[in-house]
């Protein structure tokens, strides 16, 4: 009896040793060897930390929250503009010239105006200024160049003139580290779900 129990225990022990074990170090992203020491390496996701907003006075606080509301209002349109621009660039054949290209652009423009004209007409001049900057942020191209590429130089100059009458500039570039730093922080907070 004792012999049979011992044999069974030896068999179980042998089978337990025969099962492949997951190596301890395979649970890490990678392994780094430094001076003969094997160290685990983990990749951690970045985290943006912003200091608590402090305002000099009530007027600055009101201006900040107005800017937050403007960015929240126009950011979806800027992102959709980037998506639609890529779509149009892919759909328009590279060899399309003149009449064919103009017909496609006119069709796309009519589609956009039908969908967004009433919304854009209700926007303020300051909303338009933020939209111009966010379109540059999302597309990496200033609005003037987009119009020039799609509709030609005359249209681009015309719309630049209209924008200048209302105090905007279609050639304004987005500067996330300088002038538009606050807008960039607001966009990041929106993306993180903080605002």
128 or 8, higher pLDDT: 128
- The pLDDT value recorded for residue 25 is 46
50 domain-assigned = no
pLDDT per residue as tens digits for the range 11-69: 666 655 544 555 544 555 677 788 888 787 777 777 777 778 888 999 999 999 999 99
- The pLDDT value recorded for residue 14 is 62
- C-beta of residue 25 within 8 angstroms of C-beta of residue 31: yes
Interval 133-155 mean pLDDT = 86
Whether residue 169 is predicted with pLDDT greater than 50 in this model: the reply is yes
154 or 4, higher pLDDT: 154
171 or 105, higher pLDDT: 171
- The pLDDT value recorded for residue 63 is 93
Sign of CA dihedral 188, 191, 193, 195: positive
7 domain-assigned = no
158 or 152, higher pLDDT: 158
126 domain-assigned = yes
CA distance 107 to 30: 52
167 domain-assigned = yes
Question: How would residue 5 be classed by pLDDT, with cut points 50, 70 and 90?
Answer: low
Task: Quickly tell me which residue has 């890529």 as its tokens.
Answer: 86
Domain residue limits at 188: 64-192
Radius of gyration of the chain (CA): 30
62 φψ region: left (φ > 0), alpha (ψ -120 to 50), beta (else): alpha
CB atoms within 10 A of CB 109: 13
Whether residue 190 is predicted with pLDDT greater than 80 in this model: the reply is yes
134 domain-assigned = yes
**What are the residues whose beta carbons fall under 8 Å from the beta carbon of 48, sequence distance 6 or more?**
188, 192
79 domain-assigned = yes
82 domain-assigned = yes
113 domain-assigned = yes
pLDDT per residue as tens digits for the range 70-115: 999 999 988 888 888 888 878 776 666 767 777 777 777 788 788 8
Domain tally for the chain? 1
- The pLDDT value recorded for residue 74 is 92
The first and second tokens of residue 171, run together, are 């050639």
CA distance 157 to 161: 6
């Amino acid at each position: 009896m004792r012999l049979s129990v011992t044999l069974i225990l030896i068999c179980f022990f042998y089978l337990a040793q025969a099962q492949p074990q997951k190596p301890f170090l395979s649970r890490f992203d990678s392994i780094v060897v430094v001076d003969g020491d094997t160290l685990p390496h983990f990749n951690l996701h970045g985290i943006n930390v912003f200091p608590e907003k402090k305002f000099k006075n009530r007027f600055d606080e009101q201006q900040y929250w107005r800017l937050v509301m403007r960015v929240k209002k126009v950011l979806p349109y800027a992102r959709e503009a980037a998506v639609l621009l890529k779509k149009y660039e892919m759909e328009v054949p590279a060899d399309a010239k003149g009449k064919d290209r103009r017909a496609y652009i006119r069709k796309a423009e009519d589609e956009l105006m039908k969908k967004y004209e009433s919304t854009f007409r209700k926007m303020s001049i300051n909303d338009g200024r933020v939209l111009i900057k966010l379109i540059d942020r999302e597309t990496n191209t200033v609005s003037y160049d987009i119009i020039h590429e799609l509709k030609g130089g005359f249209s681009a100059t015309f719309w630049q003139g209209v924008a200048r009458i209302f105090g905007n500039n279609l050639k304004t570039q987005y500067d996330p580290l300088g002038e538009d730093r606050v807008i960039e922080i607001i966009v990041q907070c929106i993306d993180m779900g903080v605002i």
